[in-house]
Amino acid sequence: MARIFGEIAGIPPGTPFANRRATAEAGVHTPHMQGIAGSQTEGAESIVVSGGYEDDEDYGTTIVYTGHGGNDAATKRQVSDQQMTKGNRALAISGDRGLPVRVVRGAGGDPAHSPSSGFRYDGLFYVDQSWEEIGKSGFNICRFRLVAEPQTNATTNPPPAPPAGSATKAYASTQRLVRNTAVTEWVKRLYDYTCQVCALRLMTAVTPYAEGAHMRPVGKPHNGPDTAENVLCLCPNDHVLFDRGAIGVDASWNVVNLKTSTVLGMLTIHPQHKLSATHAAYHRRLFP
Ligand SMILES: [Zn+2]
């Protein structure tokens, strides 16, 4: 059966299901047991959030989701390390490709955002970050920040069902959200829009273009500050590689390949730019 990324025809957000068998039969989330449906090559199409993992955090339109593996079903505690493989890798691929992920919440999840019984389809979310960290029980866990599709109030006010005959909902996605603030603009100007990693100064038809990259990510659960000491001026390519954990900066401000620890070069640092080694280390720890 072909994987369906996006809405299932006739199943609007807010649709309740009595049990996992019903979500499977509707095609909303096809596996009966696993929390992540997907493949390591194509990406993940759906997840179930039902409180099975002690590290999960549900903020409604943002979910910090724990990958699968290594937990004890009875106690929900982690008893061994997770790896970025199988369903976890599938979710990371959905993030890299901007694929929508159907989110099903179960009654076992955070009471503020979960159905009181059974399961509920809560709409499309996008994986905007994936990383690894040490969870509450001391084991490595794979983590994913999912954000609700814009304009979908996924949990509190499900939109009404689409009119008959137009149940197949077209979707558009934004693959990357580049935050521009007064602080990122200040950093970019300091470098005259020149990448601190590769020295590229990208010219559009009208202006030089660079992006401000927060080393410790802003927003939940990282809550990195939007301050100059946490922001790098990068070209779009190096910004993607940095955010997705391919490159980082070490304690000596070398640019390193985080998978191999190979030093790729020195980060260019302007004398007026005080950078935080703490935030650089936080970023490195996200991609062990
Ligand atoms: Zn660059």
**CA 22 – ligand 1 centroid, Å:** 48
Residues 22-36, mean pLDDT to the nearest whole number = 96
- Predicted confidence band at 20 (pLDDT cuts at 50, 70, 90)? very high
**CA 257 – ligand 1 centroid, Å:** 14
**CA 59 – ligand 1 centroid, Å:** 34
Structure tokens at 210: 């660079």
pLDDT value, residue 174: 59
pLDDT value, residue 161: 59
- pLDDT, tens digit, 9 for 90 and up, residues 222-245: 999 999 999 999 999 999 999 999
Q: Which of 95-99, 220-224, 242-246 has the lowest mean pLDDT?
A: 95-99
**CA 153 – ligand 1 centroid, Å:** 36
Residue 279 has pLDDT above 60, yes or no: yes
**CA 254 – ligand 1 centroid, Å:** 14
- Predicted confidence band at 205 (pLDDT cuts at 50, 70, 90)? confident
- Predicted confidence band at 153 (pLDDT cuts at 50, 70, 90)? very low
- pLDDT, tens digit, 9 for 90 and up, residues 105-128: 999 999 999 999 999 999 999 998
- pLDDT, tens digit, 9 for 90 and up, residues 162-193: 545 444 444 555 567 777 889 999 999 999 99
**CA 72 – ligand 1 centroid, Å:** 43
Task: Give Cβ neighbours of residue 196 (< 8 Å, ≥ 6 apart).
Answer: 232, 233, 234, 267, 268, 269
pLDDT value, residue 177: 74
**CA 271 – ligand 1 centroid, Å:** 19
Location of structure tokens 């979710």: 91
**CA 233 – ligand 1 centroid, Å:** 9
Task: Give Cβ neighbours of residue 249 (< 8 Å, ≥ 6 apart).
Answer: 215, 232, 255, 256, 267, 280, 283, 284
Task: Give Cβ neighbours of residue 247 (< 8 Å, ≥ 6 apart).
Answer: 197, 238, 241, 255, 256, 257, 258, 264
On the question of a cis peptide bond just before residue 221, with omega within 30 degrees of 0, the verdict is yes
pLDDT value, residue 140: 94
Backbone angles phi, psi at 156, to 5 degrees: -90, -35
**CA 248 – ligand 1 centroid, Å:** 12
**CA 209 – ligand 1 centroid, Å:** 11
**CA 198 – ligand 1 centroid, Å:** 4
**CA 201 – ligand 1 centroid, Å:** 8
- Predicted confidence band at 75 (pLDDT cuts at 50, 70, 90)? confident
pLDDT value, residue 166: 41
Residue 157 has pLDDT above 70, yes or no: no
Query: Is the sign of the CA dihedral 26, 29, 30, 31 positive or negative?
Result: negative
- Burial code (b: 16+ CB inside 10 Å, e: under 16) for 167-200 equals eebeeeeeeeeeeeeebbeebbebbebbbbbbeb
Instruction: Give the number of other CB atoms < 10 A from CB of residue 277.
Output: 14
pLDDT value, residue 172: 52
Determine the Cα–Cα distance for residues 21 and 234; give it in Å rounded to an integer.
47
Q: Which of 11-15, 96-100, 266-270 has the lowest mean pLDDT?
A: 96-100
pLDDT value, residue 160: 55
**CA 239 – ligand 1 centroid, Å:** 7
Any idea what the Cα angle at residue 232 is, between residues 230 and 233, rounded to 5°?
150
**CA 191 – ligand 1 centroid, Å:** 12
Identity of the amino acid at 90: A
